[in-house]
Structure 1
Amino acid sequence: MKVLPFTIPVPDDSSIIVQEELLPHFYPHLHRHSEVQITWVIKGEGTLLAGSSMHSFTGGKIFVLGTNQPHLFKSSPEYFNEQPSLQIHALTIFFDPNGKLSSLFNLPEMKALKVFADGWQSGFTVPAERTHVLTDQMLAIQHASGASQLSMFISMLKDLSSISEPKMLSPMVNNYPLTDPEGMRIASVYNYIMHNFSREITLNEVAALVHLTPNAFCRYFKKHTRTTFVAFVNKVRVNEACKLLVNGGNNNIADVAYHCGFSSITNFNYVFRNTIGKAPRTYASEYAGATKA
C-alpha cells in the first residue's frame, strides 16, 4: 500500500468533477491527487486522516482538502462487517486550479480566489454554521451543466473564501514531498496503526514492517510526519476514545481505555488530558450537556 497518486478523470465537457458515492464504506487507502477536494459527508462516520492529523467525521460535515494532500476517510469498523443497512453517502467536488481551470484562475478578477485555492494546501473543516448554504450550492452544482454550473462553482468558491479563520485539517504542509517508496512506507504504517491500535503496538514490529531499524524508523517517521511514533499512536487512540465517549453507548471510562489500547486507566487519563486538554469524564459530560442544551 502506498500514498496512491490518483488521476481523477475530467469529463471532456466539464472543468470540474462532481462525484456522488453511496457505498458500504469509503475508499480504504491513503491517497492524494492534484485536485482540490470538497467533500460533504451526507451519511457515515469514521476518522479522516489528513497528512498526519486525525478528525472524527459524521454525517453533515464538509471538508476541503488541498492539492496533493495525503488523505483517507476511514470508515468506522462496523462498516466493514457486511451489514447491508450501513452505507456511506457523500458528495464531492474536485477541481484543479492548475489544470483545465488555470486560464480562469489566472484572470485578474479571480486573483482572490486563486490566492484562496493556493493558500489552503493544509485543508480545512467548513464551520457548522456555513454548511447549510454550502450543501445547497453543492447540490445545485451537481444538477447543473455548462456555463451555469461554472457560475455556481465560482459563487461557491467565493463563499468558501469568505470563511474567517477556518479550522485547518493539518497544522502545516509537509516540506518533504513523498516519493512513491516513501509514501509506501508511511501509508503502510498509518494503515497498520489504524487497524491495530486497540492492542499493544511495539516500535520493533512497526519498524520491521517497513524494513528499518527502530532508531532509523523513529527518525524517518518524525521527519515525514512532524510527530513521534508514540504521539501518533496516542492520537489515533484518543480520537477513537472521543467517539466512544460521546456516542452514548459506552460511558465506562475503563472499558473505553482498554478498548482503545491503553494499558491502564492512569495512562489513559494522562494521555487524554494532554491531547484534549481535559479529563475523559469531563469531556463526555460537557458533550452530553451541550447536546441537551
Structure 2
Amino acid sequence: MKVLQFTIPVAHDSAVIVQEDIMPHFYTHLHRHNEAQLIWIKEGEGTLVVDNHLYAFKANDVYLLGANQPHLFKSNPEYFVENSGLQIQALMIFFDPNGKLTPLLDLPEMQVLKSFLHQQQAGFKVPSKHNELIISRMLAVQQAKNQELMISFLQLLNSLYLTSSKAEPLAAIRSSQFSENEGIRIANIFNYIMQHYERLITLEEVAEQAHMTPQAFCRYFKKHTRQTFVSFLNEMRINEACKKLTSGRYESIATAAYTCGFNSVTNFNRVFKAVKGESPKAYLEHYFSNFG
C-alpha cells in the first residue's frame, strides 16, 4: 500500500500561487505544506481539522492557515455518494513567508506585515463581516499578472492585517511540530477516527491502528495533540452532531445523537454541554436566533 506524504509539496514556480479547485470533495487526508494558505470556500460544507481543533465550514467561509500547519477540509459524507451532484469549489492562495518572499518581507517598510504573518502561524477564520473585502482582494490577485499580482497580493496582506484584530486563532496553542513519520502516524489516527466516529470505537482498536499498546497510545496522542483520545473523539462527534442538528434534516436531538456514535441521549447531553458550554436545545435556540 502506498504511504501518503504528510508534507504535501505545492507545485509552483512563483512566490504567490493561485489555485482554484472544483472537485467532488476536498482532499481526504490530514496534511501540511511549507506555504501559508488563504482559502475561500466558494461551495461545499464539512469539517475543518486544524492542528487538534475542529470547526464546521460552509460556503463563503474564508480561512488563513499558517505555514506547516496540519489541516484537513473533510467534506460531509453526502459529497462521497456516487452521482450526488454535489461538488466543492475553493479559491486558494499559497505563499511561503520564509521562501521567495523573504527579501520583500525583510524590507524596513514591511516589518508590520512580516510581524503579522509570524503572529498568525496558528491561523484564523476571517470574521464574516470582512469576507466581502477579503474575497474581492483574492479575486484581484487571481486576475492579476506579473508586478500587478504582487501589488494586489500586498493589498490583500494589508487587508488581512487590518481585519484580523477581532479574529479568533484556529489553534490557541500550536500542537507539536511533527516529523514526517510522526505526521503520517497522526494523520492515519485522525483519518481512522473520522471514518468510524459514528459507531463504538474502543481505545484498544485505535491503538492497534497505530501499532501501539493502549497505554503507549494514550501517552503518544496526548503528547502530540494536547488532547486525550476520548476528548478528541467527543469533540469530533459533537461537531458532527451540531451540523446535523442545524441542517434541519433530523427529526429530534436523539436521532442526531445516535447517528454520531452516542449510545444514550443522557450521555450525549452531558458531553455536548462539556464541549459547547450549553445544552443542545439552548445551542439550537441561539443558532437559529442568530441565523434569523
What is the TM-score with the length of structure 1 in the denominator?
0.96
Find the counterpart in structure 1 of residue 74 from structure 2. 74
Q: What is the CA distance between 1:226 and its match in structure 2?
A: 0.3
| Corresponding letter in the other structure for 2:171 | S
2:255 & 2:197 partners in 1: Cα distance?
Answer: 15
Q: What is the CA distance between 1:287 and its match in structure 2?
A: 1.5
| Corresponding letter in the other structure for 1:60 | N
1:268 & 1:155 partners in 2: Cα distance?
Answer: 46
- Stretch of structure 1 that moved more, 41-50 or 278-287: 278-287
Aligned partners of 1:15 and 1:101 also within 8 Å:
yes
Q: Tell me the alpha carbon deviations over residues 228-281 of structure 1, each in whole angstroms, 9 at most, x when there is no partner.
A: 000000000000011011111114011011000011101000000111011111
Find the counterpart in structure 1 of residue 227 from structure 2. 227
| Corresponding letter in the other structure for 2:93 | I
Q: Does 1:85 align with 2:73?
A: no
Find the counterpart in structure 1 of residue 9 from structure 2. 7
1:214 & 1:4 partners in 2: Cα distance?
Answer: 24
| Corresponding letter in the other structure for 1:81 | V
Aligned partners of 1:49 and 1:73 also within 8 Å:
yes
1:83 & 1:282 partners in 2: Cα distance?
Answer: 37
Aligned partners of 2:127 and 2:166 also within 8 Å:
no
Find the counterpart in structure 2 of residue 167 from structure 1. 168
Aligned partners of 1:2 and 1:180 also within 8 Å:
no
| Corresponding letter in the other structure for 1:223 | K
User: What are the ranges of 5 or more consecutive residues in structure 1 without an aligned counterpart?
Assistant: none
Find the counterpart in structure 1 of residue 109 from structure 2. 109
1:9 & 1:268 partners in 2: Cα distance?
Answer: 44
SS across alignment from 1:262: coil
Q: What is the CA distance between 1:290 and its match in structure 2?
A: 2.2
1:3-152 residue pairs with structure 2 within 5 A? 4-11=6-13, 14-152=14-152
Aligned partners of 1:42 and 1:89 also within 8 Å:
yes
1:118-267 residue pairs with structure 2 within 5 A? 118-162=118-162, 163-174=164-175, 176-267=176-267
Query: 4+ runs of 1 displaced by more than 3 Å?
Result: none
Find the counterpart in structure 1 of residue 272 from structure 2. 272
1:65 & 1:216 partners in 2: Cα distance?
Answer: 31
2:243 & 2:214 partners in 1: Cα distance?
Answer: 31
Q: Tell me the alpha carbon deviations over residues 71-125 of structure 1, each in whole angstroms, 9 at most, x when there is no partner.
A: 0000000111123520000000000111111100100111011111111111100
Q: What is the CA distance between 1:19 and its match in structure 2?
A: 0.3
Aligned partners of 1:2 and 1:30 also within 8 Å:
no
SS across alignment from 1:168: coil
Query: How many residue pairs end up in the alignment?
Result: 289
Q: What is the CA distance between 1:2 and its match in structure 2?
A: 5.4
SS across alignment from 2:7: strand
| Corresponding letter in the other structure for 1:40 | W
Aligned partners of 2:40 and 2:92 also within 8 Å:
yes
- Stretch of structure 1 that moved more, 16-25 or 84-93: 84-93
SS across alignment from 1:5: coil
| Corresponding letter in the other structure for 1:132 | E
SS across alignment from 2:221: helix
| Corresponding letter in the other structure for 2:98 | N
User: What are the ranges of 5 or more consecutive residues in structure 2 without an aligned counterpart?
Assistant: none
Aligned partners of 1:127 and 1:166 also within 8 Å:
yes
